[in-house]
């Protein structure tokens, strides 16, 4: 699930019989799924507020 409130996601994870995976929904989940486009900065104009960028690949690629 993506961008579900932390409280709601915690309830879903607690009651679910299967692992839950989060895309920016906080820590109350089985695991997080980072999106490599966001992590590498491929689209610097549209980085979601919950994403952590670890590079500027889009800038480097456009300079080449």
Helix (H, G, I), strand (E, B) or coil at 25: coil
Task: Supply the range of the domain harboring residue 63.
Answer: 35-64
Are residue 29 and residue 40 in the same domain, yes or no? Answer: no
Instruction: Tell me how far CA of residue 46 lies from CA of 13, 15, 62, in angstroms.
Output: 29, 34, 16
Are residue 26 and residue 15 in the same domain, yes or no? Answer: yes
pTM of whole model > 0.85?
no
Output the pLDDT for position 27. 74
Nearest to 49 by CA among 11, 21, 20, 23: 23
Provide the number of structural domains found in the chain.
Answer: 2
Output the pLDDT for position 6. 82
* C-alpha span between 38 and 36 (Å, rounded): 5
Are residue 24 and residue 48 in the same domain, yes or no? Answer: no
- Active site members: 2
Are residue 49 and residue 25 in the same domain, yes or no? Answer: no
Are residue 3 and residue 24 in the same domain, yes or no? Answer: yes
Output the pLDDT for position 50. 65
Residue-wise pLDDT for 8-62, tens only, equals: 888 988 999 998 887 776 777 767 766 767 767 777 676 666 667 777 777 777 7
Output the pLDDT for position 17. 92
């Amino acid at each position: 699930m993506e961008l579900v409130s932390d409280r709601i996601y915690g309830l879903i994870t607690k009651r679910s019989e299967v692992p839950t995976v989060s895309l920016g929904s906080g820590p109350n989940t089985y695991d997080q799924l980072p999106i490599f486009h966001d992590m590498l900065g491929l689209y610097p104009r549209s980085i979601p507020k919950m994403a952590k960028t670890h590079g500027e690949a889009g800038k480097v690629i456009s300079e080449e």
